Amino acid sequence: SKLAKAIRYATSRRSIFERFLTDGRIELDSNIVERAIRPQTITRKNSLFAGSDGGGRTWATIATLLQTAKMNNVDPQAWLTQTLERIANGWSSSDLDALMPWNYAR
């Protein structure tokens, strides 16, 4: 039955389910994370209708980077402007990590 299956699932993972009781850093549910990533995942899903596979991948990549900037408390427009200027001025491809939103510096 479905109930027996649910009980077996819960009892086999009991120690995992009880972790939040001993570690105060662990949330009881994942709603905080789900709410934080929802705009990013919706935009990425919408990019599937961009007209072509390549266009969709590009759109999804840019949308993900802009949402990452927001999640790192960085103004997406300022970050994107600075990043595009640096690339246009010949930024070294070996130092792309420095262009990521979490490394943004005015």
Residue 9 has pLDDT above 90, yes or no: yes
**Residue 63: per-residue pLDDT:** 82
Residue 30 has pLDDT above 70, yes or no: yes
Q: Return left, alpha or beta for 105; rule: phi > 0 is left, psi -120 to 50 is alpha, else beta.
A: beta
Could you give the CA distance from residue 55 to residue 50 in angstroms, rounded to a whole number?
Answer: 6
Q: How do residues 41-100 score in pLDDT, each as one tens digit?
A: 777 677 666 677 787 788 878 888 888 899 899 999 999 999 999 999 999 989 989 999
Higher pLDDT, 9 or 47: 9
Could you give the CA distance from residue 75 to residue 19 in angstroms, rounded to a whole number?
Answer: 36
Residues 47 and 56: beta-carbon distance below 8 Å: yes
If you compute the radius of gyration of the chain from its CA atoms, what whole number of angstroms results?
A: 20
Residue 31 has pLDDT above 70, yes or no: yes
Higher pLDDT, 17 or 70: 70
Q: Which residues have CB under 8 Å from 54's CB, separation 6+?
A: none
Cα-Cα end-to-end distance for the chain: 59
**Residue 47: per-residue pLDDT:** 66
